[in-house]
Amino acid sequence: MNDLRYGVAEAIRLLLAGDAELYAVVSRTLAISLLATLLAMAVGVPLGYGLARGKFPGRLVLLSAVNTGMGMPPVVVGLVVWLLLTRSGPLGSLDLIYTKPAMVLAQFVIATPLVIGFTAASIQALPPQLPDLLATLGAGRIRRLWIISKEAQLGLVAAVMAGFGAVVSEVGASMTVGGNLRGSTRVLTTAIVTETGRGNVPVALALGLVLLALAFAVNLLLTLIQQRQR
């Protein structure tokens, strides 16, 4: 109980003191996770729509693969990305290992199946006759996609929340491909692991509380957007 109390006090102290290292870690965490989520949305939403509305051989297999990917262990993703980016790997010439772009890539791989799965589920929840009805009413392809997206936007916002929540809180992939380098690739989750290993429990708790506050703030904003659309 004392550790928790000290952790709260330390979190408040660090935030009020304007600790430069803390704010750098927070901004780095937010930038990497938001970029990975945006990339996952750019790829995952069209793929989710295609899986929901398409009729082609192997569709059920792909849906099963997506559902499996939604539960992929982040540390496994990190290992695969590390093998691709390490100097002896097929993408080693890009020299991305232990950099922020490598972390974005790993988090993108984690978030994309979630975005695809949530998008497919939200599109499938709409009446299947909706696209044909819109076409009959004279809506063009772009207009139809826009209207369908508006109708499914509650699910799409949920996809953003699921994707962001998964990547901002993961540690295995970020540690594996980023290396937890101070001033470069250290984010909140890896900093928590570092401070815990050093025995600095109050500082680790403080960082954990900051991470929870950050995730809550982003999800509160998305929830407000989602509920306003209702």
Q: What angle do CA 115, 174, 12 make, to 5 degrees?
A: 95
Residue 203, C-beta contacts closer than 8 angstroms, at least 6 positions apart: 7, 10, 195
How far is it, in rounded angstroms, from Cα 230 to Cα 168?
Answer: 27
d(CA 111, CA 116): 9
CATH code, domain carrying 91: 1.10.3720.10
What token pair was written down for 47?
């793929």
What one-letter code names the amino acid at 55? K
* Domains contained in the chain, number: 1
76-118 confidence digits (pLDDT tens): 999 999 999 998 889 999 999 999 999 999 999 999 999 999 9
Written as one letter, the residue type at 99 is T
Chain-centroid distance of CA 201 in Å reads 27
Return the pLDDT at 230.
57
- Per-residue pLDDT tens digits for 140-188: 767 777 777 777 788 888 889 999 999 999 999 999 999 999 889 999 9
Check residue 2 and give its pLDDT: 66
Mean pLDDT, range 44-53, rounded to an integer: 88
pTM of the model: 0.89
Closest of 48, 47, 31, 3 to residue 200, by C-alpha: 3
- Higher-confidence residue: 40 or 203? 40
- For the chain, state the CA radius of gyration: 20
How far, in Å, CA of 230 to CA of 228, rounded? 5
**Cβ–Cβ < 8 Å for 44, 94:** no
Q: b/e map of 64-87 (b: 16 or more CB within 10 Å)?
A: eebeebbebebeebbbbbbebbee
What is the domain extent for residue 175? 2-229
The token pair at 135 is 């076409």
